[in-house]
């Protein structure tokens, strides 16, 4: 089994000169102030300086850049928009960042077969906008969809509020073109949705940039549903909202989304530019979105009203038009931005528990936050059991930072204990790499390592991510989590 | 890259003695008449005698059997019900067959979280029957569902008529327990449907038993739809039926199934015990199944009637009740059985083409059948573009057999030429192994080989399947296809 390589120790001057020959001087960044931006993704706690950043324009340029990195023995890391939350795009070991943001073209839209072919740098929300006139949309909708790229979504297998009905990115990717760590280019999958042989597209989606760099993606498009209803159910507390989620799913309905927003989040949102008119004294709001045939809506709304009344709902508001629907969603999609009001730093956790255990788990998570005296808020994909406990803090206070990390670990242990998993949609990256032993046996981790080594045998492609590097790391020693390797400044 | 091992040359007596110690004498078969049944799956053209057949009862027994095979250097092959059509369960190189049919328990049904945990030997149709009272069903429904096992479905990523709306097996498997070729046992995926790290469940589903032996499967259950409508649209010819398929999909509807049955199939069915009252002078029948909310049905039926009239439909029959629905489906599900009336042997082909090209491709496929003077019939998943050209023949006529193989190859070349793929749901196995070069580049095949070698480095687990063994095989020399290795008498 390969261990990650040592930090790049070759000549940066030669590396830069060779890469400039491929992408041109304007698209090869090496000044410290340019490199700063690329030192981390949304997991800003963990930043490292890259050797160089290149911005290729084509698959051929990506392959040429990878070939140079291999030849000179320098690690490399693919990057999209850098909105990831688990450190997937963070350049460890002095890696070269290969940033695909200039590869932003929609190459083909085929309405009859309901597919689109895109470059990895296409922004998620732009694709749905481009196909809206055809009555189609691209279903995965991460909260960062106005900024994040489809290439990054493929790396992280991103989900979003509508995962409940529509699944995550892996359910929507039919084929990819990919530059492997040996600089060869392969095409995996098929636009027909059927592909003989191993499901390598399945293995690549969610591999967090450790198996190669995806340079073209064929995605499935969906028909825009005939009708959409968006409902706010306002509750006195989070467990009641969670119980309604269980009741709706048990009833057989599959809403497009079931999202819980707790009181602290409501208050932050209402004090911010995202204000949506939510009652700031409410304990929790459940956003319910239904979509489907227009004739189904009335009956489903009536069933939801009855179920909500059973759980003691305080108020039920139904969006009357598209503007009001957008307003309801602002409370959810603007939540992370609004939390900037609570403290300078935000740690967005991500874990999944069996849906039935949500009420107890949420109470326990709040108790952990209180025990560590932390500012905890919860906004989450309740229909999937996908939690996002968010901790607002100030990293300049070392004691608070230590409490943030310790509480996060306890929350993950709790989720795993009730039969859940470490991450739903943010990935493992550096953030949870050394927690993988909580969930997986050494044999399970060896199976992952074998898959990685099959594609990335010398470990140059996005090293230090996803899999603990040694058994010792599995003890989850925080010092081994990469925070103090090659620090930025 | 590993090449498959040589034929097992150790002592069968020691192998048998060791395996009996694990599974008991009653569950270890070694007499020639016992072995005969296990010489092939549904691809009966290609049969080979196994060294031994073991029928373990538990995951521990599977692991112990694998450990013995490794120790003695004997290849091994997992098997379910043996209904596969591409040779996936065929024991090449004197392999031990590890048949999971005794591992047939449904271990858990969790209605709240909508999952079931099953052993691999559970028969596909039995699971839906077991959860029907809870208002749930298991969606993948291969034509062989009364016999085939869920373990076999996982190996082949089986589809079925309802793939159009519900996807194939890979869309319904959340987690597996698996004995790897090194005899270790791993658990992949999570019942929550989210799993950190590589999507190894995705890589395992459809790997045709070459990555290990799945010993427990957690599947997703679906809510039985409120309403179902089944319609027979009767046409003068196959291309008109295919054009209606295109029209329905373009209209934005996603029916549960869209299945075409051609005239030769109709006549065989009507002459058989599966007779369903279809008009034997019709050129083609399209079975359309709609499911969803009861209130949607009337509007969708009206739209389908209008679209069908546009394509010159001769008659449209709507099933009035569950009995009539079953009768309509008998024509489809009994088709392969009924073809026993046409000739002693049947070659069921399987390929996928872009839906829009169906009318032209079908005409060309019929022309190929005529050119080779073959009895060709077509019954297929038109909504998916998944063709099943069926050739009825007599293997005792060597000239006819040669024409069957040559015509099949031409049909596959045609499908690949129009942007299709080699197989939709039957797998590659031995059948299409040496055709993989038609679709994939040497680099693409190397990527698959690397994945296989990561799990199965010495090639003992189901050798000789899925990937061409040498570049020479990619020339698709029929002599290299395994038909004449270790022949069964």
A32-56 residue pLDDT tens: 999 999 999 999 988 999 999 999 9
Q: Kindly determine whether residue B352 and residue A198, on different chains, have CB atoms separated by under 8 Å.
A: no
Helix (H, G, I), strand (E, B) or coil at A53: strand
Task: Name the β-bridge partners of A223.
Answer: A136
CA B465 – CA B90 distance, rounded (Å): 9
The size of chain B, in residues, is 489
In chain B, what residues touch A451 (CB-CB under 8 Å)? 198, 200, 203, 451, 454-455
- Residues B135-160 have pLDDT tens digits of 999 999 998 999 999 999 999 999 99
pLDDT at A1: 37
In the numeric block, the tokens 């291999």 are attached to: A70
C-alpha span between A371 and A403 (Å, rounded) = 10
Share of chain A above pLDDT 90, in %: 84
Helix ranges (DSSP H) in B205-284? 238-250, 263-270
Residue B175 distance to chain A (closest CA, Å): 12
Provide the β-strand partners of residue A132. none
Q: Which residue is closest to A457 within chain B, CA to CA?
A: B450
| Alpha carbon A343 to chain centroid, angstroms | 22
- Is any Cβ of chain B less than 8 angstroms from the Cβ of A433? no
Is B297 near chain A, with CB under 8 Å?
no
Q: Above 80 in pLDDT, residue A265?
A: yes
Burial label, B2 (beta-carbon count in 10 A; 0-12, 13-18, 19+) = middle
Mean pLDDT score, A404-428: 95
pLDDT tens track for B290-349 = 999 899 999 999 999 999 999 999 999 999 999 999 999 988 888 888 888 889 999 999
- Give the per-residue pLDDT at B472: 36
Quick one: which of A393, A296, A147, A152 has its CA closest to B295? A296
Which chain B residues contact residue A292 at CB under 8 A? 292-293, 296
Residue B183's φ and ψ, nearest 5 degrees, are: 75, 0
Q: How far is A469 from chain B (nearest CA, A)?
A: 14
Contact yes or no for A196 and B427 at CB 8 A: yes
| Closest CA of chain B from A198, distance in Å | 5
Domains and CATH numbers, chain A: 12-101+441-481 (3.30.43.10), 106-223 (3.30.465.10), 227-337 (3.30.70.2190), 343-434 (3.30.70.2740)
**pLDDT-derived band of residue B6, with 50, 70 and 90 as boundaries?**
low
Residues in B 11-70 with any Cβ partner in A closer than 8 A: none
pLDDT for the residue numbered B440? 93
Distance CA A241, CA A245 (A): 7
- Does residue B206 come out as left (phi exceeding 0), alpha (psi in the -120 to 50 range) or beta? left
Q: A152 CA to chain B: closest CA distance, Å? A: 15
- Three state DSSP letters for B299-368: HHHHHHHHHHHHCCCCEEEECCCHHHHHHHHHHHHCHHHHHHHCCCEEEECCEECCHHHHHHHHHHHHHH
What is the Cα A422 distance to its own chain's centre? 13
Is the distance from CB of B278 to CB of B215 less than 8 angstroms?
A: no
Question: Tens digit of pLDDT for each residue in A325-378?
Answer: 999 998 888 888 888 888 999 999 999 999 889 999 999 999 999 999 999 999
| Residue A223, token pair as written in the block | 């028909």
The pLDDT of residue B263 is above 60: yes
By CA distance, what is B467's nearest residue in A?
A: A197
The pLDDT assigned to B8 comes to 80
Distance from B354 to chain A by nearest Cα, in Å?
6
Predicted confidence band of residue B470 (pLDDT cuts 50, 70, 90):
low
Most confident of A122-131, A346-355, A464-473: A122-131
Question: What's the rounded Cα separation, in Å, for the pair B118 and B104?
Answer: 8
CB–CB of A180 and B254 under 8 A?
no
Instruction: Flag whether pLDDT at A20 surpasses 50.
Output: yes
For residue A181, pLDDT beyond 60? yes
Record: contact B113-A427, CB cut-off 8 A: no
User: How much is the pLDDT for B486?
Assistant: 38
Question: What are the CA-CA distances from residue A182 to residues A95, A463, B268, B447 (Å)?
Answer: 16, 15, 54, 11
Give the whole-angstrom CA distance, residue B302 versus residue B306: 6
Asked if A451 reaches chain B (Cβ–Cβ under 8 Å), the answer is yes
Interface touch B170/A202, C-beta < 8 Å:
yes
Contacts of A152 (CB under 8 A, 6+ apart): A79, A80, A81, A82, A83, A84, A88, A89, A120, A158
For the record, the structure tokens of B6 come out as 């040589």
CB atoms within 10 A of CB A399: 8
Pairing of strands A284-292, A222-223: unpaired
- A134: contact with B, CB 8 A cutoff: no
Q: Do B198 and A451 touch (CB under 8 A)?
A: yes
pLDDT tens by residue, B43-100: 998 899 999 999 999 999 999 999 999 999 999 999 999 999 999 999 999 999 999 9
Q: What is the pLDDT of residue A451?
A: 93
Q: Cα torsion at B413, B414, B417, B420 (round to 10°)?
A: -90
The H or E element containing residue A247 is: helix A238-250
Residue B207: predicted pLDDT: 97
Q: Which of B197, B211, B352, B454 has the most A C-beta neighbours within 10 Å, making it the best mutation to test the interface with A? A: B197
Say yes or no to pLDDT of A5 above 90: no
Residue A487 pLDDT greater than 60, yes or no: no
Q: How much is the average pLDDT of B418-438? A: 94
Report residue B165's pLDDT band, with 50, 70 and 90 as the boundaries.
very high
B193/A contact by beta carbon, under 8 A:
yes
Alpha-carbon distance of B84 to B381, in angstroms, equals: 17
* CB proximity B184 to A under 8 Å: yes
Q: What is the pLDDT of residue A480?
A: 35
Residue keyed to tokens 């190859």: B409
B199–A198 CB contact, under 8 Å: no
Interface mutation target, options B188, B229, B447, chain A, most CBs of A under 10 Å: B447
Asked if A186 and B447 come within 8 Å (Cβ–Cβ), the reply is: yes
pLDDT-derived band at B286, boundaries 50, 70, 90: very high
Helices (H), A73-206: 124-131, 150-156, 163-166, 200-204
Mean pLDDT of A81-91: 95
Is residue B77 within 8 A of residue B40, CB to CB? The reply is: no
For A136, phi then psi, to 5°, come to: -120, 165
d(CA A469, CA A449): 9
Q: Which residues contact B338 (CB under 8 A, 6 or more apart)?
A: B265, B268, B269, B271, B272, B274
**What is the rounded average pLDDT of the residues A165-169?**
94
The residue among A196, A207, A224, A415 with the most chain B CBs within 10 A of its CB, best to mutate, is A196
Query: Does B352 touch chain A if contact means CB atoms closer than 8 Å?
Result: yes
A1-10, A45-54, A143-152, A202-211: range with lowest mean pLDDT: A1-10
Place of tokens 């739209």: B303
Q: What confidence score (pLDDT) does residue A412 get?
A: 96
CA distance readout (Å), B462 to A29, B76, B156, B440: 49, 6, 13, 21
pLDDT of residue A6: 54
Give how far B106 is from chain A: nearest CA, Å.
20
Q: Give residue B2's pLDDT.
A: 43
Distance, in Å, from the CA atom of A196 to the CA atom of B439, rounded to the nearest integer, reads 9
Q: Verify whether the Cβ–Cβ distance A422 to B450 is below 8 Å.
A: no
∠ Cα B382 B387 B389 (to 5°): 130
Phi and psi at A12, nearest 5°, equal -60, -35
Verify whether the Cβ–Cβ distance B299 to A295 is below 8 Å.
yes
Instruction: Output the six-digit token pair for B236.
Output: 């003068």
| Phi and psi torsions of A331, nearest 5° | -60, -35
Contacts A–B by Cβ distance under 8 A: 205
- pLDDT value for A474: 37
**Residues A457 and A19: beta-carbon distance below 8 Å:** no
Which residue, among B88, B76, B49, has the nearest Cα to B212 in the 3D structure? B76
Query: What is the helix, strand, coil percentage profile of chain B, to 5?
Result: 40, 20, 40
For residue B471, pLDDT over 90 is answered with no
B175-196: average pLDDT: 94
Helix, coil or strand: residue A389: strand
Partner B contacted by A447 (CB < 8 A)? yes
Asked if A205 has any chain B CB less than 8 Å from its own CB, the reply is yes
Instruction: List the 217-276 stretch of A: residues with Cβ below 8 A of B.
Output: 223, 246, 249-250, 252, 254
Contact A236, A308 (CB under 8 A): no
C-alpha Rg value of chain B to the nearest Å: 22
Is ipTM strictly over 0.90?
no
Of A187, A197, A206, the CB nearest to B428: A197
Nearest CA among A86, A88, A150, A153 for reference residue A117: A150
B299 Cβ under 8 Å from any chain A Cβ: yes
Tokens of A346: 């935000």
User: What string of DSSP letters covers B262-299?
Assistant: EHHHHHHHHTSTT-----TT-SEEEEEEEEE-HHHHHH
**Residue B186 β-bridge partners:** B178
| Structure-block tokens of residue A290 | 């239904």
Query: Could you tell me if A206 lies within 8 Å of chain B, comparing CB atoms?
Result: yes
Question: What is the reported pLDDT for B426?
Answer: 93
Q: Report the relative pairing of strands A222-223 and A227-235 from DSSP bridges.
A: unpaired
Band of the pLDDT at B383, cuts 50, 70, 90? very high
Q: Is A209 on the interface with B (CB under 8 A)?
A: no
Chain B residues with beta carbon closer than 8 angstroms to that of A355: 112-113
Q: Average pLDDT of A96-111?
A: 97
Q: What angle do CA B325, B331, B333 make, to 5 degrees?
A: 90
């Amino acid at each position: 089994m390969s261990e990650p390589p040592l930090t790049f120790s070759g000549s940066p001057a030669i590396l830069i000169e060779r890469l400039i020959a491929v992408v041109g001087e304007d698209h090869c960044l090496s000044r410290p102030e340019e490199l700063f931006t690329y030192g981390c993704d949304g997991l800003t706690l963990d930043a490292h300086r890259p050797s160089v950043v290149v911005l290729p324009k084509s698959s051929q340029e990506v392959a040429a850049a990878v070939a140079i990195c291999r030849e000179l023995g320098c690690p490399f890391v693919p990057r999209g928009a850098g909105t990831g939350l688990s450190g997937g795009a963070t350049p460890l070991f002095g890696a070269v960042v290969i940033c695909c943001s200039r590869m932003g073209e929609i190459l083909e839209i085929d309405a009859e077969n309901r597919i689109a072919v895109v470059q990895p740098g296409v922004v998620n929300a732009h694709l749905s906008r481009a196909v809206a006139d055809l009555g189609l949309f691209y279903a995965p909708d991460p909260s960062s969809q106005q900024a994040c790229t489809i290439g990054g979504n493929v790396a992280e297998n991103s989900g979003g509020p509508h995962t409940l009905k529509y699944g995550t990115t892996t359910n929507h990717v039919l084929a990819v073109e990919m530059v492997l760590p040996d600089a060869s280019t392969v095409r995996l999958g098929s636009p027909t949705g059927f592909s003989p042989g191993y499901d390598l597209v399945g293995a690549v989606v969610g591999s967090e940039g450790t198996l190669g760099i995806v340079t073209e993606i064929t995605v499935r498009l969906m028909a825009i549903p005939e009708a959409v209803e968006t409902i706010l159910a306002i509750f006195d507390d989070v467990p009641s909202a969670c119980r309604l989620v269980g009741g709706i799913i048990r009833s057989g309905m599959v809403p497009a989304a079931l999202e819980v927003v707790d009181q602290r989040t409501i208050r932050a949102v209402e004090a911010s530019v995202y204000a949506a008119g939510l009652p700031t004294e409410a304990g929790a709001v459940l956003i319910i979105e239904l979509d489907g045939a227009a004739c189904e809506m009335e009956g489903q709304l009536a069933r939801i009203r009855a179920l909500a009344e059973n759980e003691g709902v305080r108020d039920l508001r139904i969006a009357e038009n598209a503007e009001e629907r957008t307003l309801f969603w602002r409370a959810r999609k603007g939540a992370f931005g609004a939390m900037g009001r609570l403290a300078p730093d935000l740690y967005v956790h991500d874990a999944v528990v069996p849906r039935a255990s949500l009420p107890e788990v949420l109470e326990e998570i709040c108790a952990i936050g209180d025990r560590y005296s932390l500012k905890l808020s919860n906004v989450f994909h309740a229909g999937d059991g996908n939690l996002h406990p968010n901790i607002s803090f100030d990293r300049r206070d070392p004691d608070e930072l230590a409490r943030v990390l310790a509480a996060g670990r306890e929350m993950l242990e709790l989720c795993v204990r009730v039969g859940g998993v470490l991450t739903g949609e943010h990935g493992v990256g550096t953030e949870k790499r050394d927690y993988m032993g909580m969930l997986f046996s050494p044999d399970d981790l060896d199976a992952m390592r074998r898959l990685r080594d099959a594609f990335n045998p010398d470990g140059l492609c996005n090293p230090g991510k996803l899999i603990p590097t040694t058994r010792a790391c599995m003890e989850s020693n925080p010092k081994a989590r990469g925070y103090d390797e090659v620090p930025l400044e």
